[in-house]
Structures are given as structure tokens and as C-alpha cells.
Structure 1
Amino acid sequence: MSTATLSLSELTAAATNAAKTAAAASDAERAAWLTAVADALDANAAELVEIADAETNLGAPRLTGEVARTTGQLRLFARVITEGSYLEAIIDHGDPGATPPRPDLRRILRPLGPVAVFSASNFPFAFSVAGGDTASALAVGCPVIVKAHSGHVKLSERTAELVAGALRAAGAPEGLFALVSGREAGTALVQDPAIKAVGFTGSIPGGRALFDLATSRPDPIPFYGELGSLNPVVITEAALAARSGELAAGLAASFTLGAGQFCTKPGLVFIPAGTGFAAEVAAASKDKPGARMLTHRIAEAYPGGLHQFAAVPGVKVAAGTVEQDAAADGAAPVVFSTSAATVLERPSELLEECFGPTTLLIEYTGAEDLAAVLAKVPGSLTATVHAQPGEEVTSLVEQLSGLAGRVLFDGWPTGVAVTWSQQHGGPYPATTSLFTSVGATAVRRFQRPVAYQDAPEAILHPALRESNHLGIPRRVDGELVLP
């Protein structure tokens, strides 16, 4: 039966039933499910890209790469769960001779149960129906109900058909995956008692509303929201003196990439006062063409955001124009410039995300001035340092590490590698939690620790049994034991 004919309560009931089977399945079985989904998406990539391009204006080359990223992360999570350390298996053998006597304790991470995933607008594959949230939840045995994004409904429906079909063919339980659409369905999904966690990528207002719903339930649940990020970049005087042209070109390429619709777009760039860097960035970005944005609503909002910045006293337009019709002509790049003193006077107006190809250059007059204005920057996904070899930037890096989840050196943040070590998350409002939504450890969001005391061997998860026939890393009596 198609899930399209089922009510939300029927979908969540089916997910609850599927959770038991998924939790009991072996890592190898769940890895096979993920691989089957990846294979199905790859086999239908051309069709999916065509649908996505019609709905999002992102272009076939970008979307083709995003399909590959999506299937690659599905396969990564298959490797993660078969490697086994994701379980964090810990064994402390009992010691009746200890004072006081110590019981046998064995701890492991277990799946939370059914989770809700909200698709993002700006990544219709990688952060959508079969994206990282879905992949990491399925990997650890959590059924997933996805709320489709209104900006790419047809793509969501077709992707969901492929995912459901692949899971069914691979022997996964019915109810493991489903798709719903509409604002009301999304709100009801967060409030449904069967849902045990929520993954969300989107705006601060929308995410905050759902976050509040999730935490105000009779049984509050984790809400893993990626909401907004300014991604500050700091350029030192020495770096600017050595390679200003290279930096200007890199910045122009980064803040205009994808029409400035990346969550890691460098929105704030701190530069030493009294340089000609603004003119260099203007020159590097002047030939960047206007680009169609994801949705008509987003395109209509972009000029409004530009006007808000331009209206702040002390802010100059260094490149481009705020007088543009992004919905009709595409979003054109705009570079603003101001001083650290102006930002300190008006942080609520200037330290706001403007979704689109724009960035704000902020001139600072010394280390103390820079530290003061950085202290006002809200939590971000990334922070970047451009310095010369041998420069002392320890204090700066320490401060940036406190406000971002990933600190880059001599690069640009628009690019998130899907690896074991990736951290895509930061202090609020970048995310509502300390966990990553990209990379191997994203699975940790959908697990909870359970300890078993003096449990019979037969009822223990295989990872906690003495033989360790799974051959996974474990900590035994305080020592890390590798297979």
C-alpha cells in the first residue's frame, strides 16, 4: 500500500512497529538497506536531476554532483555501522572484592525510535528526502518520516518512491520510511507521541517554532535544527599585504557560489582598516552574473535584506546595487562595508543573515577591536582565519573556536566534506545542539545510552558479549580494545 493513502497516525504507528525490527536488525542488514537506496538513486540520477533542476534552478552540473554526494554519504553510513565504534560499547566487569562491591556494567548506544526529518530548500538531495538526516537515522535503526519541502515537492515524491522501493526490495520492514507534505502535517509530526527526535534544516523562525513545539511536548524530544549562520572570516594585515588579490578572488567565488544560498556562505569578513580590499572584492565580483534563486519567495526577499543593510548609518555599498529585482532578473552580488564600531553600535541590524549573494566587510583597527566585535557574533557553523605562516593567532583561533563548530585556515567555508571527522554544527542559532549533521558522528543524534547491570549474556546486544564476535572496537575495564 502506498504511504500516500495513509493518515499521519497510521504512518507513525507503522514506524513504531518497524522500529522494533530495525533495532533488532544487524549492522550488516541495515548497511545493505542504505546501499540499496544509494544504488537506486544512482541508477535514476538523470531523471532526478531533471526534476530537481525544473524546481530549484540550481543547474544540472551542481545537482548531478549533489546526487553523488547524497549516495556517497549513504554508503559512508553503511561503513560507519559495520565498523562498529558508533555503538560506543563499554564493558566494566564486576568486582565483588571492591569497596564497595562493583557490579558488572555494560553500556551501549541504542536507537531512539521513529524520527521526523524536515527537508531543506537549498540542498534538494543532500539535505532532503534521502539526505544526511535520513541516512544517519536509518543507519542506527530509526524509522524516518520525512516532511517534504514545498520548494521541490515533485522531486521529493519521486525520491521517496525510489527510497521506499529500494528498502522494500532489500528486505527492510514496512513502515521504515515515509513522506508527508504540508505545513500542518509537519507541525503534527513534531507533536506526534510516536516521534522521538526531529532533524531540521531551514530558517531561524521556522526552526525555532518547531523547536519550541518539540521541547514543550508532554514528553519533550530532541530537536536537531540547523537554522542560520554568518560564518565569520578574519583576514590579518600580513595576509592581506601578501595576497590581497588572491583573497578577493576567493571571497568573491565563495559568497556568490550557488547564488549565496549555502549555509556556510562567508557573510562577515573582518579586514584591517585603511586598505583597498573592498575595491578588490568589488572588482572580483563585478562580473559575477545574477543567478536565479531557489524559490520565488526567496528571490523576493533578497532585495529587502539588502535594503535593510544599506539603510544602516555607517554602512556603504562597496559593489553592486540594492536596487534589483531578483525574482525577475536573478540575484546579483552585493558587497557592503562598514566598521567594527558601527557593528558594535548596531549588532541586531548588522549581525543578521541575508540569504543570497552578499557579504559584509568589517574593518577593525587592532586585536582588541577585533576581539570586541567578534564577541558579538552569534554562533556559526564555520569560522575562517587567513594569516601568514608564523603569525601568532592562538587567541584569535580560541575565540573563533568558541563561536563555530569548524575553524578553517586559509580556505573558504563553502564546501562541507562528508567524512568521519566533519563537524557541521555550532552554537545557537547555527544549530540547536552540539552534534554534527554531516559526517560519521551524525548518527549520535539518534541514539541514547543504555547500561545493563549484571545482565545474562543471552539478552545482551552482541557488541556487549564477552566473545566480541562482531569484531568491533570496545572499551573493556577502562582499556580501549581494538579488534
Structure 2
Amino acid sequence: MTDTTTAPLRGISPRTGEPVGDPVPVSTARDVDAAARAAARAFPVWSALPAADRAAALDAAADALDAAREELVAVADAETALGEVRLTGEVGRTSGQLRLFAEVLRDGGHVQAVLTPADPATGRPDVRRMRQAIGPVAVFSASNFLFAFSVAGGDTASALAAGCPVVVKAHEGHPATSVAVARVVAGALRDAGAPDGVLGLVAGFEAGAALVRHPAVKAVGFTGSQSGGRALFDLAAARPEPIPFYGELGSVNPVVVLPDAAARRTAEIADGYARSLTLGTGQFCTNPGLLFVPEDGPLADAVAAAVGATATGAMLTAGMRDGYRARVAALDEAAGLVPLASGGANDDSFAVTPRVWRCSLASFADRLDALAEECFGPAGLVVTYPDPDALAEVLAALPGSLTGSVHATAGDTAAAARVAAVLRHRVGRLVHNGWPTGVAVCWAMHHGGPWPSTTTPLHTSVGATAIDRWLVPVAYQDWPDELLPPELQDANPLGIPRRVG
């Protein structure tokens, strides 16, 4: 990345196709270096703050977001056309994530403190282990969640909680929103006693690669496309000092409807599928891209009617709109696929039409690699199967997904158990009689899955354990009690959960 003059970033209204918001300067190599170095300077100060102080700072950031909600929603809606209701709820989700990680810090279990006393009989030393912050973290904003997966989203909140300063790479689709959120959150953190550099922001395509390469950055969080994520993952691995790259990429999120449920809940399932497919114009990583239904019965026709009655709005960017249209055109020409339904769309500049195709299980299996590919937008494939037992081999061959869903009644119990036994190895979250869109922010949530849904299936980007990505273990052997971190001292002054033995 060189210091060249580049036109500032501007948001483009999906409603009109015209520029909106204030121009945001593209970050130069010097800007990226300055932000990364500032994060490195902040690291020893921020990570050394007591967990209670970091928790208070996160609560302050959450309060500041809520206080600025009206202003932030207005900027975000101009850049994305997602609407006041959706965006207001997302600000609340984002402040809620910050407060969740404040709770995590106050609980203290995230450090996983373990004390193994010395045993003179065997010569074993006194060993005490805990986890500590890995260092400055780079976070890439998502396109589809301007708040919850962007500047102040789950990656940032969990990294800050861990004790890691964060440098965020703003998404080109909503630069003004990114600047506004960074201003609010960085100001609140500073007022709460955080050091300068604990939250930085860079912008521009080349800034992302420069950030991953920077030696001060010790880990990366990414939400975006499979191609973009893989390129950055390879970049992180090719550094002189390779670093962890936690990417959430693409997901087809299979949904299996078993025969008794299909017969008894036909209208309910069809309507639920249509709503989930078109929610947010299909721009969710948990969009139900594959729906498996019995080949006999009314469900496929009911799905066609339900999707045909939908109407969606605009996609977030012209590039996403064009990518969706290209994928739809390719599916229209794909052998073995029969168009099942088309919905409607409004008159927005970036508007697209919901589409669903139908094919047999055998046809799908013959072209699985080509058909089991995410289409980002309100498009889905309905695969009809002859018998639940025929599903196992195909489900086992699916690419990794964030979710897998099963619709079943009591009469489907045996089949549901068999399907779940296969899906649990291909997905990170199993949903029963529900839809994958919507990810609860809670202690138990796992939002991850096998490749290509993520680069590291061990971890989650949503929920309390998202903090695990930014923590590394350190063991202390035979250290005097007064020189140990409080988490490992005999008296346990912080009162955190610990294992002794």
C-alpha cells in the first residue's frame, strides 16, 4: 500500500443510487501504521486495567450508543435503506453485546484460572495457569450489519473485553455510519479512562490488507465474503509472524422438513420459510439457502405460493445487487433446476426480486458442489426427497454451515434424530422447529461452523465465548504469591471461578 491520492469514500443510497453522507478519506499507509502503532501503545495499559474497570468502560460505550441512537440510525438508513425499525433494534443489540461482555468480565471465568499445587512426593512444581490478552486486534466491518457486526459489534466488544485494543477497517458500503459509531464509542471509552488508541478506524480497500500485514496486529476478526476472507486468511498465515484469523464467510444453512411436519404444518412452514428467506432482502449469513422437503405432499406448492406473495426492498450496495442478479441468471440456466416462484420488489435503485427453484434430491446430489453455494440475497433452492433415509449421504456432503434446521413432529422423532446426527458434524447450531435467521446474544450461543462458514470452527463470533478468540494461555511455575496476577493468588481477591487440583 502506497500513499497515493484516492477519492474519498461515499455511501450510496440503495433507494436512489445517489451519493449520501459526508465523504470519508481513504486511509493511507501512514494512517494504517499510525492506528496500529497507537493500538500497540495502548495495549499494555488497557490489558493491565482491572477487569472491573474495563467492564465499566464497556458499559459507558453501551450507554453512549443508546444515547446517540437517533443520530446513528438516521446516518445508517441513508446509507443502507434498512429502515428505522430494523436499525433501531440493531443499535440496541449492539449496546446489549457490550453489556454482555461487561458481565463476562465481572464474572471472571473467561480467564480459565487453574491452580495445581506443588507435590513434593512426586517433585511436581506449583503451576498456575490463566489466559491473557493476545494483543492489538484488527476487525473488518460487515456489510449487512452496520452496528452489530461492525465498528462496535461483537468482534470489537469481545476483543476490548479481553484487553485487546482494536483497529477497525470500515466497510465501503457504510463509511459515514462507521465514522459516526467510532466517534461515539471512542469518546465514551476515553471518558471512562481508556488510553488513546484503544479503538481506531481505517478506511479503504488497501487499508485492510495493510492492517493484516502490520506487525503490531496479533489477530484478525472478519465477517464477509468467502473470497475476501480467504485472501486475508492467506495473508495472515503468510506473515513472517503468522497470526490467527477468525473469519465468518459464507453459509447455505440447510433446513430439513420431515414428512409428518410437512403434512401437518404445511402453511406455517411455508410462510415461515418465505419470511426467513426474504428477511432483510435475504442479506443474512443465516439465510435458509437450502430447503429439503418430501417429494410427495403439498409443501413445495405452498412454498411457491408463500414466496410468490413476498416483496422485498433494496440490497445494500450496487455490487451486491449485481452479484445477486448474476447468480440468479446462472441458476436459471442450471440443469435440473425448475423455477418454483418469484416474488416482487419495490422501485428502489438496488431492489431485487426473491427467487426459488426446485430440484430432486438426485439432481442436487449430481451437482452438489455447484448448487450448494451461497447466493447472497433472497434466493433459495427447494430440494425434494423420496424418503428421510435418502437424505443422510447428501447432508453429510454439504459444505459447512453456521446452522442446520429440522422441522419435525412427534411422529418424526426417529427421523429427526438421524438427520441431526448427520447435521451436527456439518453445522455450528442446530435449530428445531424454527428458522436460522436471528442469532441470540447470550452465554450459550455458538455462531460458527465448519469451512467455509468460518475459518476456525472451534470459535464463535456471537455470545460470551466470542472472547476466547482474543485470549492466550500463560502458566506460572513456582512464582511467589505476591508476584502472581490477582486471578492466581492464593486468596483469590477477585473472587473469580477457579479450578484447583
TM bracket (short chain): over 0.9
Asked whether the equivalents of residues 310 and 343 of structure 2 are also in contact (C-alpha less than 8 Å), the reply is no
Aligned match of 2:78: 54
Q: Does structure 1 retain, via aligned residues, the 8 Å contact 2:278–2:312? A: no
SS at match of 2:312: coil
Which of 318, 324, 334 pairs up with 1:302? 324
Could you say if the C-alpha distance between residues 173 and 428 of structure 1 is closer, same or farther in structure 2, counting changes exceeding 3 Å?
A: same
1:175-324 to 2 correspondence within 5 Å?
A: 175-320=197-342
Match of 2:376 among 346, 355, 360: 355
- Cα distance in 2 between the residues matched to 1:160 and 1:121: 16
- The residue number in structure 1 matching 2:473 is 449
Question: Structure 1 residue aligned with 2:358, among 305, 328, 337?
Answer: 337
- Amino acid corresponding to residue 342 of structure 1 in structure 2: S
For the 8 Å contact 2:290–2:383, the answer to whether it is kept is yes
Q: Distance in 1 between matches of 2:429 and 2:69?
A: 31
1:188, distance to aligned residue in structure 2 (A): 0.5
Which residue pairs with 2:175 in the alignment? 153
Take 2:421 and 2:289, find their aligned partners in 1: how far apart are those partners?
A: 20
The 1-side partners of 2:166 and 2:130 are apart by 22
* 8 Å CA contact retained: 1:380, 1:428: yes
Contact 1:303-1:326 within 8 A present in 2 as well = no
Q: Which amino acid aligns with 1:238?
A: D
Q: Residues 366-445 of structure 1 correspond to what in structure 2 (within 5 A)?
A: 366-389=387-410, 391-392=413-414, 393-433=416-456, 434-445=458-469
Measured in 2, the distance between the counterparts of 1:321 and 1:11 equals 46
Letter in 2 for 1:33: A
Unpaired runs of 5+ residues, structure 1, are 478-483
- Are 1:137 and 2:156 matched, yes or no? no
Q: Report the CA distance shift for 1:333/1:109 in structure 2 as closer, same or farther (over 3 A).
A: same
Aligned match of 1:476:
500
Q: Report if aligned partners of 1:3, 1:179 keep a CA contact under 8 Å in 2.
A: no
**After the TM superposition, which residues 86-165 of structure 1 pair with which residues of structure 2 at under 5 Å, given as runs?**
86-98=110-122, 101-165=123-187
| Kept in 2: contact 1:3–1:178 (CA 8 A) | no
Identity across matched positions, percent: 53
Gaps of 5+ in 2: 1-24
Distance 2:377 2:251 in 1: 13
SS class of match (1:7): helix
Q: Deviations over 1:268-300 (max 9, x none)?
A: 011111233221012112221131111111112
Check 1:455–1:326 CA distance in 2 against 1; reply closer, same or farther (3 A cut): farther
Q: Deviations over 1:180-215 (max 9, x none)?
A: 001111100000111000000000000000000001
Q: Does 1:11 align with 2:32?
A: no
DSSP 3-state at the match of 2:445 = coil
Q: 1:423 & 1:222 partners in 2: Cα distance? A: 19
Deviates further, 189-198 or 458-467: 458-467
User: What letter corresponds to residue 367 of structure 2 in structure 1?
Assistant: R
Bigger mean CA offset, 14-23 vs 41-50: 14-23
Give the whole-Å Cα distance in 1 for the aligned partners of 2:326 and 2:297: 29
Q: CA deviation at 1:4?
A: 7.8
Alpha-carbon distance change, 4 to 270 in structure 1, aligned in 2, over 3 angstroms: closer
Task: Please say if residues 232 and 266 of structure 1, whose CA atoms lie closer than 8 Å, have aligned partners that are also in contact.
Answer: yes
Q: Is the 8 A contact 1:300 1:326 kept in 2?
A: no
Residue 125 of structure 1 and its aligned partner are, at CA, apart by 0.3
Answer yes or no: is the 8 Å Cα contact 2:26–2:204 preserved in 1.
Answer: no
The secondary structure found in structure 2 opposite 1:178 is strand
Tell me the alpha carbon deviations over residues 11-44 of structure 1, each in whole angstroms, 9 at most, x when there is no partner.
Answer: 2122111110111110111001111111111111
Q: Structure 1 segments of 4 or more deviating over 6 A?
A: 2-6, 324-327
CA distance in 2, matches of 1:277, 1:388: 15
Structure 2 residue aligned with 1:75:
99
Q: Is the 8 A contact 1:300 1:327 kept in 2?
A: no
Alpha carbon RMSD of aligned pairs, Å? 1.8
Matched with 1:34 is: 58
SS of equivalent residue, structure 2 residue 246: strand
Deviation at 1:369, TM superposition (A): 2.0
Distance between the aligned counterparts of 2:168 and 2:381, measured in 1? 35
Tell me if the contact between 2:258 and 2:388 (Cα under 8 Å) persists in the aligned partners. Answer: no
Residues 133 and 471 of structure 2 are in contact (CA less than 8 Å); yes or no, is this contact kept in structure 1? yes
CA shift, 1:395, in A, is: 2.2
Contact 2:91 2:147 in 1 (8 A): yes
Q: Which whole-Å deviations, capped at 9, do the CAs of 1:377-428 have from their partners, x for residues lacking one?
A: 1000000011112521222111111001000000011010000000000001
- Alignment-derived partner of residue 12 in structure 2: none
Q: Aligned partners of 1:21 and 1:86: how far apart in 2?
A: 20
**Partners of 2:35 and 2:323 in 1: CA distance:** 35
Structure 2 residue identity aligned to 1:448: V
- SS of the residue corresponding to residue 168 of structure 2 reads strand
